[in-house]
């Protein structure tokens, strides 16, 4: 019985490591689109990046730590995946149903500059694009649509990984 528990925990940790690697690739793609292609991220895009970073970091901790600390980090990764998915869903809704006067919300830029991560990684999280504007699509999905899809996939993977533990 002990070996099946060890395999379950190992599988959970491997899935969390895979989530970290996938997000590293997604963030690399977003930086490519920003710095090479020239697409400026909007404030909602930046919030989604924060969520991806949080999911990645907590998934990495969950992959590295066993037992309760690993499970707690795993739960935090799932919560941030839900929060990021919610932000992405709102972003997609704004793109499909743009308001008369485009706005992502008052004071968001100020809030973002006050967060410690924004000070540590200013080049990654600098943006000024319009949240309702669709600047780029791939296979019919905007960046916000792809973000929503990936948050969903990552959340499902994390739920599946959580079910692997005993």
Which residues have a catalytic role annotated? 42, 45, 49, 104, 131
**In the chain, where does DSSP find H-type helix?**
2-32, 43-64, 67-96, 108-114, 116-120, 143-164
Check: CB of residue 49 under 8 Å from CB of residue 27: yes
Angle at 146 between CA 142 and CA 148, to 5 degrees: 115
Residue entry with tokens 């739920």: 159
CA pair distance 33, 50, nearest whole angstrom: 17
């Amino acid at each position: 019985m002990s070996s099946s528990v060890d395999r379950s925990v190992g599988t959970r940790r491997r899935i969390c490591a895979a989530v970290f690697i996938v997000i590293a690739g997604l963030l690399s793609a977003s930086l490519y689109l920003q710095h090479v292609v020239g697409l400026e991220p909007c404030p909602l895009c930046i919030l989604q990046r924060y969520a991806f970073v949080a999911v990645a970091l907590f998934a990495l901790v969950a992959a590295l730590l066993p037992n309760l600390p690993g499970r707690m980090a795993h739960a935090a990764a799932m919560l941030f995946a839900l929060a990021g998915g919610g932000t992405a869903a709102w972003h997609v809704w704004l793109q499909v149903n743009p308001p008369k006067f485009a706005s992502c919300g008052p004071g968001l830029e100020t809030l973002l500059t006050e967060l410690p991560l924004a000070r540590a990684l200013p080049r990654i999280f600098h943006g000024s694009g319009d949240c309702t504007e669709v600047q780029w699509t791939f296979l019919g999905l905007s960046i916000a649509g792809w973000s929503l899809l990936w948050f969903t996939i990552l959340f499902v993977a994390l739920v599946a990984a959580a079910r692997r533990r005993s």
